[in-house]
């Protein structure tokens, strides 16, 4: 005998699953102290996105100077080729105070504060990095030096275990979330099938 699922119940449950899915797929990809990681083997290009700061600062990757905060927005810098999964650890040197801050985990900085927000939902497949240039986080506006990168995404260190990079987990991919959502919908359907509805005679 076939069990009929009342349309009203089905609609409400689908809406319920939708509520579950929406906040998960749009889950914050803007991460304070997150790491910037190369997505695919190949080229990474940086774009200077501006500065809103009283101080002048410069951005480095290793010994390579990429940007200075008083230059023109929209300027690009070709960082070269990288392997997928490589973390790009940036250094901000503040000219006025002679202080140095790093992207990634808070423990990398002398003040124990995370100095960069990474956001891989910036658009055009780019990840935006926003630096705070004051010791201890200062005004915490995180807009003192802004730049973006092609071919990168964000990783979060959930272990908070420092700069070792151990325990890094990637933000959930939408496909995983959809699969998880489908599983819940399947489970709901199975429960209905098991439990005949009241409107059946
Ligand atoms: Ca600022
Ligand atoms: Ca600031």
Domain limits at 187?
Answer: 7-26+175-194
The DSSP-derived string for 34-60 is: PEEEE-SSEEEEEEEEE---SS-EEEE
Give the total number of structural domains in the chain: 2
- 1 is a domain residue: no
* 51 CA from centroid of ligand 2 (Å): 10
pLDDT digits (tens, 9 = 90+) for 147-180: 999 999 888 755 544 443 333 334 444 444 455 5
Answer for the pair 59, 67: CB distance below 8 angstroms, yes or no.
yes
Same domain, 109 and 157: yes
Tell me, yes or no, whether 179 and 133 share the same domain.
no
Ligand with smallest separation from the Cα of 146: 1
190 and 123 housed in the same domain: no
Residue 200 pLDDT > 80, yes or no?
Answer: no
pLDDT higher than 60, residue 28: no
| 74-98 per-position pLDDT tens digit | 999 999 999 999 999 999 999 999 9
* Same domain assignment for residues 17 and 85: no
Question: Is 154 found in the same domain as 187?
Answer: no
CA–CA distance, 119 with 117 (Å, rounded to integer): 7
Question: 60 and 116 in one domain?
Answer: yes
* 87/159 same-domain check: yes
Mark whether 106 and 188 lie in a shared domain.
no
89 falls within a domain = yes
Question: For position 137, which CATH number holds?
Answer: 2.60.120
Which residues fall inside 5 Å of ion ligand 1, going by CB? 52-53, 141, 143-144
CA distances from 63 to 31, 51, 91, 103, 149 (A): 25, 22, 10, 15, 18
């Amino acid at each position: 005998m076939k069990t009929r699922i009342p349309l009203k119940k089905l609609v409400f449950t689908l809406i319920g699953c939708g509520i579950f899915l929406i906040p998960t797929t749009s889950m914050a990809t803007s991460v304070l102290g997150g790491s910037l990681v190369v997505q695919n083997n190949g080229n990474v290009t940086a774009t200077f996105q501006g500065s809103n700061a009283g101080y002048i600062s410069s951005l480095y990757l290793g010994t390579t100077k990429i940007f200075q905060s008083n230059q023109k927005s929209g300027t690009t810098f070709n960082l070269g080729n990288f392997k997928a999964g490589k973390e790009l650890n940036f250094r901000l040197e503040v000219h006025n105070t002679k202080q140095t801050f790093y992207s990634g985990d808070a423990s990398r900085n002398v003040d124990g504060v995370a100095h960069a927000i990474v956001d891989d939902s910036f658009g055009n497949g780019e990840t935006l990095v926003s630096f705070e240039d004051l010791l201890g986080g200062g005004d915490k506006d995180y807009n003192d030096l802004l730049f973006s990168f092609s071919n990168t995404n964000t990783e979060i260190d959930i272990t908070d275990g420092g700069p070792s990079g151990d325990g890094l987990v990637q933000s959930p991919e939408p496909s995983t979330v959809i699969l998880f959502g489908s599983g819940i919908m399947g489970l709901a359907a199975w429960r209905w099938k098991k439990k005949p509805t009241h409107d059946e005679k």
